Amino acid sequence: MTHQAKYTQLIKSEAKRLGFLSCGISKAEFLEEEAPRLEAWLEKGMQGEMRYMENHFDKRLDPRLLVEDAKSVISLLLNYFPSETQNPDSYKISKYAYGTDYHFVIKDKLKSLLSFILEEIGEVSGRAFVDSAPVLDKAWAARSGLGWMGKHSNLLTKDVGSYYFIAELIVDLDLEYDHPVTDHCGSCTACIDACPTQAIVEPYVVDGSKCISYFTIELKNEIPSSFKDQFDDWMFGCDVCQDVCPWNRFSKPHAEPLFDPKPELFEYSKKEWEELTEEVFADLFRKSAIKRTKYIGLKRNINYIKNKS
């Protein structure tokens, strides 16, 4: 067995032990196919007010600009599919935000994996990424054979659907590389047909500036009144395109206690959400991704849905 094969086996086995769904590896090189797509998407203004998407264009496409002498991109998936979901009659939160902020949970696992690599393999330079740096997570995961890009632009996997986080380690270590899998969306248009704001403007292209997740999380200004009756009670994020996807019939509940929600999240009625105070918000979402929208943002979202006429 070559060194590359041995190291690859070690890393994948440790990733599994740490609780990752799967691990795939790609050669660290320029993302030639993604470059024109990203450029066209930005030129059409589909990033809306997410100005950070315009920054570090070259770094987004070439991991060697993020980690000196990078050789491999190790992509990892972590399941967040919950065993139960919110009361459909209340205001809704995207499933990924039910528990502790995924950044904390995954960063710890990535640090453990990097420490393991240093202990078992030796002097390896690398960096961990959890969607907080200019890395095209889904593109790398697809290149590494962990799934294919669905028509809703999320990564899809035959066995487990799409309810998982994607993270990477970029390292200066030669490893064995995986290959992309084939697209299994076929003629299905469930996600396109179901999107409440018609944000999936064509297969595989999402206009971020029309997406409910963008409006409820990223947008800092007032939400345009033209979408008033289209929010379907989503106050943070939106799961519609994933909920209707046939591949998500195969989603299985996660086994990560930190992703379990506080009971109140499922118990609150619409009225209780409407009366939410800043103190309760701070306590309920202390280590939650929902802090990103801040109290004022969540209240704005709730008022927007409530006053949809």
Contacts of 265 (CB under 8 A, 6+ apart): 86, 93, 98, 284
Structure confidence at residue 65 (pLDDT): 86
Token digits of residue 218: 């990223």
Q: Is a pLDDT exceeding 70 seen at residue 39?
A: no
Q: How far apart are CA 143 and CA 184, in angstroms?
A: 15
Percent over 70 (pLDDT), the chain: 91
Contacts of 296 (CB under 8 A, 6+ apart): none
pTM: predicted TM-score of the whole model, two decimal places: 0.92
Active site residue 69: no
Structure confidence at residue 40 (pLDDT): 65
How confident is the model over 54-113, as pLDDT tens digits? 555 667 788 888 889 999 999 999 999 999 988 888 999 999 999 999 999 999 999 999
Is the C-alpha dihedral spanning 80, 148, 41, 177 positive or negative?
positive
Which residues is 234 bridged to in the sheet?
Answer: 92
Share the mean pLDDT of the chain. Answer: 91
How confident is the model over 159-188, as pLDDT tens digits? 999 999 999 999 999 999 999 999 999 999
pLDDT grade, residue 279 (50/70/90)? Answer: very high
Structure confidence at residue 56 (pLDDT): 57
- Going from N- to C-terminal start, the domains of the chain cover 3-171, 190-252+261-306
> If you average pLDDT over residues 276-283, what whole number do you get?
96
* Length, in residues, of the chain: 309
> If you average pLDDT over residues 286-308, what whole number do you get?
93
- What's the distance, CA 197 to chain centroid? 20
Q: Is a pLDDT exceeding 80 seen at residue 49?
A: no
Structure confidence at residue 36 (pLDDT): 63
Contacts of 112 (CB under 8 A, 6+ apart): 18
Structure confidence at residue 98 (pLDDT): 96
For residue 78, the one-letter residue type is L
Structure confidence at residue 61 (pLDDT): 80
Q: Check 89, 101, 131, 183 and give the catalytic one.
A: 131
Q: How far apart are CA 14 and CA 79, in angstroms?
A: 16
Q: Is a pLDDT exceeding 90 seen at residue 28?
A: yes
Structure confidence at residue 300 (pLDDT): 96
SS (H, E, C) the chain: CCHHHHHHHHHHHHHHHCCCCEEEEEECCCCCCHHHHHHHHHHCCCCCCCHHHHCCHHHHHCHHHCCCCCCEEEEEEEECCCCCCCCCCCCEECHHHCCCCHHHHHHHHHHHHHHHHHHHHCCCCEEEECCCCCCCHHHHHHHCCCCEECCCCCEEECCCECCEEEEEEEECCCCCCCCCCCCCCCCCCHHHHHCCCCCEEECCEECHHHCHHHHHHHCCCCCCHHHHHHCCCEEECCCHHHHCCHHHHHCCCCCCHHHCCCCHHHHCCHHHHHCCCHHHHHHHCCCCHHHHHHHHHHHHHHHHHHCCC
Structure confidence at residue 148 (pLDDT): 98
